[in-house]
Structure 1
Amino acid sequence: MRHDTRYEHLDSLDNYELEHESQDIRGRPLVSPTGEKYGIITDLLVGRDKNRVEAVRLEDGRCCAVGPLEIHDDAVVYGEASMAHAKEGGAAVSEEVIPVVEERVAIGKRTADHGKSIGVRSRVVSDTVSEDVALRDETVSVDTREVDRRVSGREADKLLDGKTVTMTEHDEELVVAKDAVVTDEVVLKKTGKDRVEHVEETVRHTEVDVDKNANDSRGRDRR
């Protein structure tokens, strides 16, 4: 049993006496309000300030705070007031706890980059397009031809009336226009397939052996 360093035994102190003999409850049973017996009180324990008795120790080594106890002639009751005091922070009957522990495995999955990456980008490339184009240029010229032809009087009147003729030169000019045309498409796509991997992991747990009779090895129970 572990030694509780919070207290000192009353008998271990020099010149320490109880104010009243009735306060010496050693040898009396500690019971619940319904009569359930916790054990026999064997020791009175003094706090660190050594001013008063703060707890009692039972025959099995457990401790209980003095404040919430109800002292009677034949027993000490750990009563309703004691329970309320313990819930509010007072010390209840102490106990030794051995936890039963087991390991558990959590298996999941995550995405990891283990394959290659393929990047596609477009860039502008310039090409020269050459082509021969036939263009037409017009030229207006004025020439005089020698003519010796008789005309009638009516035609003569018409020709003598005067005439103005205009002729315009036309030249063809080169015109270049560009437009964009989609000729191909590069498609990036990703496919996936499922696979199954087997996982094995070792987990540990604790088992508690309860020795029902310390003097008899046959009384051991495993939990």
Structure 2
Amino acid sequence: MRHDSRYDDLDTLDHYELEHKSQDIRGRPLVSPEGKKFGIIKDLLVDKSHNRVTAIRLDDGRACAVEPLVIHDNSVVYGEAAVAHAKTGGSAVSEEVVPVVEEQVAIGKRVADHGRDITVTSHVVKDKVSEDVHLRDEHVSVDKRPVNRDVTGKEADALLKGKTVSMTERDEEVVVGKKAVVTDEVVVKKTADDRVEHVDETVRRTEVDVDRDGKTRR
């Protein structure tokens, strides 16, 4: 295939007509015998003598002669191999793809919050404590009692010097002291147990049936 300006465009010729409508291949794809697409046929080119269509022009401007072309229902095949294939009675060189599809299951796992939220908070509670405490109060009393007793000279000298006695009254009073003591511990922990969960899932897939002479094969 190559660019060529030696032809006239069929659309510019008022007196030239194709013998059969099937010869009008404009708009069809030009492909190789293997199905490779070269482009779309845009114009039919007539030789300078206006005797016949001798070439085609693609939508990208490239041109090629019609001799190596074989016309099929939905495409035009380019190449000498296509001509030989057609002469031996071969079928049209075209390709349609039927994909074979199947679904695949990917089974995994994720962490989901489906359980309860456990929150432990400590707070202060006031309790009233009552207890009886036995206290002792001291009292100093001064009393005078009659005495009639003789004393000796030395004792009299000592007694006559005078004597001072002091006593202090003491009372017991309640003293309250507090201390913090840990009596219990609340332990918050999380444990995990493994379990097996069975999963059943349906997947789809396609099968290709080929009907040859009324016989279906896969």
Cα pair distance change 1:154/1:114, threshold 3 Å = same
> In structure 2, what is the Cα distance between the partners aligned to 1:58 and 1:10?
14
CA contact (8 A) 2:103 2:204 kept: yes
In structure 2, the gaps of 5 or more residues are: 1-26, 30-38, 81-93
Residues 43-94 of structure 1 deviation map (CA, whole Å, 9 limit, x = unaligned): 54133xxxx2278997474889xxxxxxxxx97xxxxxxxxxxxxxxxxxx9
Cα pair distance change 1:176/1:58, threshold 3 Å = farther
SS class of match (1:7): strand
SS class of match (1:165): coil
Cα pair distance change 1:203/1:163, threshold 3 Å = same
> In structure 2, what is the Cα distance between the partners aligned to 1:135 and 1:157?
44
Counterpart of 1:143 in structure 2: which amino acid?
D
Deviation at residue 179 of structure 1 after TM alignment:
3.2
Deviation at residue 137 of structure 1 after TM alignment:
1.1
> In structure 1, what is the Cα distance between the partners aligned to 2:156 and 2:64?
157
Deviates more, 1:109-118 or 1:169-178: 109-118
Cα pair distance change 1:141/1:53, threshold 3 Å = same
> In structure 2, what is the Cα distance between the partners aligned to 1:186 and 1:163?
69
Structure of greater relative contact order (alpha carbons < 8 Å, 6+ residues apart):
2
> In structure 2, what is the Cα distance between the partners aligned to 1:25 and 1:179?
115
Count of residues paired in the alignment:
163
> In structure 2, what is the Cα distance between the partners aligned to 1:3 and 1:156?
160
> In structure 2, what is the Cα distance between the partners aligned to 1:210 and 1:143?
138
Give the aligned partner of residue 166 of structure 2: 166
Counterpart of 1:139 in structure 2: which amino acid?
H
Deviation at residue 141 of structure 1 after TM alignment:
2.3
Cα pair distance change 1:3/1:161, threshold 3 Å = farther
In structure 1, the gaps of 5 or more residues are: 27-42, 65-73, 76-93
Counterpart of 1:7 in structure 2: which amino acid?
I
Q: Among the aligned pairs, what percent are the same residue?
A: 57
Give the aligned partner of residue 144 of structure 2: 144
CA contact (8 A) 2:102 2:203 kept: yes
Residue 203 in 1 paired to residue 198 in 2? Answer: no
Cα pair distance change 1:185/1:110, threshold 3 Å = same
Give the aligned partner of residue 175 of structure 1: 175
